[in-house]
Amino acid sequence: MEGAMAITRNEAAAALSDIESTQRRGMTLRGYRVGGPILMMWSLIWATGYLTMGLAPPELWLPVWLALDVVGVAAALLLARAGKPEAAGAPPGMTWRLLCGSLSMMVFALSVFWVMKPTDPAAAMAFPGLLIGVIYAVVGFWAAPRYALIGGLMFGLTLVGYFLFQPWLPFWMAAASGALFLSGVWLWRR
């Protein structure tokens, strides 16, 4: 073969590594586009739930949050399916994984409240923000780095609200959900 250049084994390995890295980055970015609208939707659910906690008597908090969580999980599944997770590089069965993961988090949160029986309403209000913050951070550290930033932001905003604005914590958390909405826009538009 006249004029053809021979490629070395190391050059071929480096080229394949670059291709794999580019594919992984592309899948992550497509995953952000699917996840952005889901995060925006959850921010609205959170704002509604926390506003309810600030305006309604405590006996309504659990039923309202349970209803909102059911609506949120259903909407997230619809948004994820509409976002074509397989096209974003998600493994088969991702819808079931999202559903089972969401249900596991709800059962965990309810179990913590049942076992710990918090008597301080502010602690009960802060727990979901801390839980979601750490979950997003872990997902970010393992798979999608932007989620680590979002998780840290949610965790930090929850602690600021708990320690500095406790008398207005439900309203602080409702406002902090705006950061989740903007984070969803950031994921979706990038």
> pLDDT 10s digit of each residue in the chain, 190 long?
455 567 788 776 665 566 666 556 556 556 667 788 888 999 999 999 999 999 999 999 989 999 999 999 899 888 887 766 554 455 566 677 777 888 898 899 889 989 999 899 999 999 999 999 999 899 889 878 888 999 999 999 999 999 999 999 999 999 999 999 999 898 888 7
127-157 burial code (b ≥16 CB/10 A, e <16): bbbebbbebbbebbeeebebbbebbebbbeb
